Structure 1
Amino acid sequence: MLKIGTFFFKYRNQAFPLIIAALFISTPPTTTVLGSEALEAWKNSLALLVILIGLLLRATVIGYAYIKRGGLNKRVYANDLVTEGMFGVCRNPLYVGNMLVYSGLFLFHGSPMVVVVGCLLFAFIYQCIIYAEEEFLANKFGEGYSAYCRDVPRWGLKLSAFSSSTEGMAFNWKRVIAKDYSTMSSTLIAVLVTEFYRVAADSVADQDSSYAIVLAALLGIVVALTGLVSSLKKRGVFDKMTTAH
């Protein structure tokens, strides 16, 4: 598991989109649940809610205490042991947010195979990555990290610690936009493309054609806004507000 975690820590930005694309292409998204369009609508609403919660959790983490997850030369590394902000609530809050986003995307697709395989596979991969990170942190920070592990859950959210962990800290929205716009964008694109796939696989009725045009327009808007934020970031607009912790 440590070897798997080290591999995916290094190549996750390339591997994760390929895994998701392969799962989604393997079978069309569902158009009904147990033959009911109403249940399908409820399922999709639940999926979008789970995705939103995941994105909000990521935003909360980054807004209070951003931690660079890329490591050093794509290997697990950390200069400091960050325990404030949401890291005083959960040891891996960004990964919890990611799992919520991915689980919501799989549920939005709806195929039982995609939901089960996707959720289990990503949970296993993230657990492996966490093991690799924990080994490094334990070796580098010793008893300080052990004490942190005893006090803060690996996957759960110790919400009772939120107030004390964020005391005296200011939430930074500009840092959230600068650091997480690509995650927000890719998530929205995945939702829109999945919905477009659902419409195309279901039928080509006039109303569906109009809906497809709306989806395409929304996709264009998301891509344009992503390009705008990327351009502003390259011009240094967010530099003063995005110092990594």
Structure 2
Amino acid sequence: MNSPKDMSRFQRRRRIAIAIVIALILIALLTIRSAWNDSWTHEYIEDFGIGAIVLAILGRMWCTLYIGGRKSAEIVRVGPYSISRNPLYVFSTLGAAGIGMLTGSITVALVLAVICYAAFHFVIVAEEGYLENVFGETYSAYKREVPRFFPRVSLYNEASVLTVKSSVLYRTFTDGLVFFVAYPFLEFVEYLQSVHVLPVLLRLY
């Protein structure tokens, strides 16, 4: 990708691909149920899932405070972007794990996190090629000094002043609420499974 037009086209394809992956995952979850016989364990895993989703939404908003409206226009190296080059994807992966935990299964949570990480890996590689073409050595230095995905907290660097686009921040918050839609959806799926309307093909711990 050598131009903003190429990048824009790629981003549209990325959104479509991610939407398809999410749809396939939700369809798969219709036939999966937690294998924990202890209802308390099931409930605790669900509670951790809700906590992970809240952290994911707050984390995505935190990232937007620093990069909202500036992505692909400049290299941001402060706040969450000082410890990971792709913190938005990190928090989205945490949200995916949270959705998995809402099933009461740790295995499902790990599988969703891995799928999300793998999908973002291809997106990140493509974006890196574009950013290197646009920013050259500035981005190359950023690549050498800051990890691609998993945060290195010791690198944290704060900005003295932030300029925030409120419309972008609100949109990020609204987008993040999609994670919460999974909760009533999966609770309803669990009910349908309990009354044998939906088949349970796989039980996972």
- Alpha carbons 1:47, 1:108 under 8 Å: kept: yes
Are 1:196 and 2:197 matched, yes or no? no
State the TM-score, normalizing by the size of structure 1: 0.65
Aligned residue identity for 1:179: R
Unaligned runs of 5+ in 2: 1-7, 197-205
Amino acid at match of 1:50: A
Q: Does 1:46 align with 2:48?
A: yes
1:122-161 alignment to 2 at 5 Å?
122-161=116-155
- Who is 1:28 aligned against? 31
Relative to structure 1, is the Cα distance of residues 109 and 17 closer, same or farther in structure 2, using a 3 angstrom cutoff?
A: farther
Q: For 2:138 and 2:93, locate their aligned partners in 1 and report how far apart those are by CA, in whole Å.
A: 27
- Taking structure 2 as the reference length, the TM-score comes to 0.77
Q: 2:66, 2:76 within 8 Å by CA — same for their partners in 1?
A: no
Aligned residues: 188
SS in 1 for 2:102: helix
Supply the AA of the counterpart residue of 2:194.
D
Deviation per CA, 1:152-202: give whole Å up to 9, x if none: 22112233444x3322336x5944652213322311212221112112221
CA contact (8 A) 1:8 1:15 kept: no
Q: Which runs of 5+ in 1 are unaligned?
A: 1-5, 70-77, 205-245
Distance change in 2, residues 1:7/1:177 (3 Å): closer
Whether 2:176 is the aligned partner of 1:184: answer yes
More relative contact order, 1 or 2 (CA 8 Å, 6+ apart): 2
Higher helix share: 1
Structure 1 counterpart of 2:202: none
Q: 2:94 aligns with which of 97, 100, 104?
A: 100
SS at match of 1:64: helix
- Name the % identity: 24
The Cα shift of 1:55 comes to 1.2
Output the aligned Cα RMSD: 2.9
The answer to whether the 8 A contact 1:29-1:198 is kept is no
- AA paired with 2:140? S
- Residue 113 (structure 1) shift: 7.0
Residues of 2 paired with 1:192 and 1:173: CA distance? 31
What does residue 159 of structure 2 align with? 166
